[in-house]
Copies of this chain bind each other. A is one copy, B any other.
Amino acid sequence: MKVSIIGATGYGGLELIRLLHQHSSVDIATLHSFSAQSETLANFYPHLKGLEASPLEKINPAEIIEKSDTVFIATPSGIAKDVALPYIDAGLNVIDLSGDFRLKDNQLYEKWYGKKAAPEDYLAKAEYGLAEFRDNELATFIANPGCYATATLLGLAPLVKKQLIDPTSIIVDAKSGISGAGKVPSKSTHFTETNENMTLYKMNSHQHIPEIMQQLTKWDKSIPAIQFSTSLIPITRGIFTTIYVKPKNPITQQELHQLYESTYEHASFVRIQAENTYPTVKQVTASNYCDIGLAYNEKTNVITIVSVIDNLVKGAAGQAIQNLNIMANFAESDGLGFIPVYP
């Protein structure tokens, strides 16, 4: 299969290149970037020296449609909504890593992103690609979920799908490494500001909240809202979410584990930790795993769920390839079979 990557110079694009390099059935046909053309990626990213021959090319849809079967869109939100259209129209497989096609409700998009939404008929076509819970495994146009959304939804799915929790009790305390902010330097990614620091940067205002709500309410209509704050911790890769919910009825630690084990029985990238064990961010670094730990506190009737992912892999490029594998009927772990890099 031939693929093109639009937005190849961002962190999402780089990670697609890294992972696809190991994929047995995919070749990268063309690479594209808005910020650079007619140069090789290795000019900007010396780690790629000797590895990646394709130069960065202008985006010529006709040419891409001719050369490729699949297009990954790894541009920022607000750009993908225009860039993606020709390939969808042409019937190519399209996997968009941005937020532009995740929300079915265009007004919600405009409220949370502060930008014009994609055309409604395209929004309707897009399949929300939470890989473990896809509605339509044959869909060829995928809105790949946000990193926080992935960690949060995989953490909540088993309980919410069975409507086991008090719908007003969901609190998500999410922490992210700095790569989540992308490659453009800013005050909040400046080493001297972020190193030896922790910063709560969005209080109930992160743009992943509406896609989380959209999915949660598919599973349990009674959920009115969630409490959701995001903080930066001084690591490069990784998301660590601590989720607090109250079950409608008391539950044992064992029942809780069984529920999660059975829900993810066939999910090769979700690993439920043993009782009294909580995952660390580092145990999934550079891999497509989502690791989940669970606790129930009888005294407070609170379930704590800890879920960790690598934001650039399971939270972006890895899940995108997992979605491609599902869509193309490749082995689910093709290009993703890495052991996490540890230590």
CB-based nearest B residue for A200: B278
Select A191's contact among B51, B195, B277, beta carbons within 8 Å: B195
From B51, B229, B234, B244, A234 is in contact (CB under 8 Å) with B234
How many copies the complex holds: the figure is 4
Instruction: Determine how close the nearest CB of chain B comes to the CB of A104; give it in whole angstroms.
Output: 20
Contact call B185/A46, Cβ cutoff below 8 A: no
Residues of B contacting A277 with CB < 8 Å?
46
A285 to B, closest residue via Cβ: B196
Q: How far is the CA of A276 from the CA of B171 in the complex (A)?
A: 19
Is A21 positioned at the interface, with any CB of B under 8 Å from its CB? yes
Measured in the bound complex, the distance between the Cα atoms of B22 and A277 in whole Å is 28
Contact of A196 with B236 in the complex, beta carbons under 8 Å? yes
Known contacts A200-B242, A236-B191: does B282 contact A343 (CB below 8 Å)?
no
The answer on a CB contact under 8 Å between A190 and B192 is no
Q: How long is the Cα–Cα vector from A178 to B190 in the complex, in angstroms? A: 9
Interface residues of A in 271-310 (CB under 8 A from B): 271, 273, 276-287, 291, 293, 295, 297, 299-302, 304, 306, 308
B282, A47: Cβ atoms closer than 8 Å: yes
Which 4 pairs of residues, A with B, have the shortest CB-CB distance?
A185-B185, A197-B282, A47-B283, A225-B299
For A173, give the chain B residue with the smallest CB separation.
Answer: B173
Residues of B within 8 A of A185 (CB): 185-187, 189-190
- Indicate whether A193 reaches chain B with its CB closer than 8 angstroms: yes
Select A198's contact among B48, B281, B342, beta carbons within 8 Å. B281
Binding stretch for chain B, among A10-18, A125-133, A320-328? A10-18
A296 to chain B, nearest CB (A): 10
The interface-forming segment of A53-61, A82-90, A141-149, A333-341 is A333-341
Known: A168-B300, A342-B45. A235 touches B197 (CB 8 A): yes
A233, closest chain B residue (CB): B233
A221-251 near B? 1/0 per residue, CB < 8 Å: 0001111010101111110101010000000
Bound Cα distance from A244 to B306, whole angstroms:
17
Interface string of A150-175 (1 = CB under 8 A from B): 00000000000000000010010101
Contact indicator A196/B46 (Cβ below 8 Å): no
Q: Known contacts A234-B235, A238-B196: does B337 contact A21 (CB below 8 Å)?
A: yes
In the complex, A203 has a CB within 8 A of chain B = yes
Cβ-closest chain B residue relative to A297: B204
List, in ascending order, chain B residues with CB within 8 A of A308's CB: 198
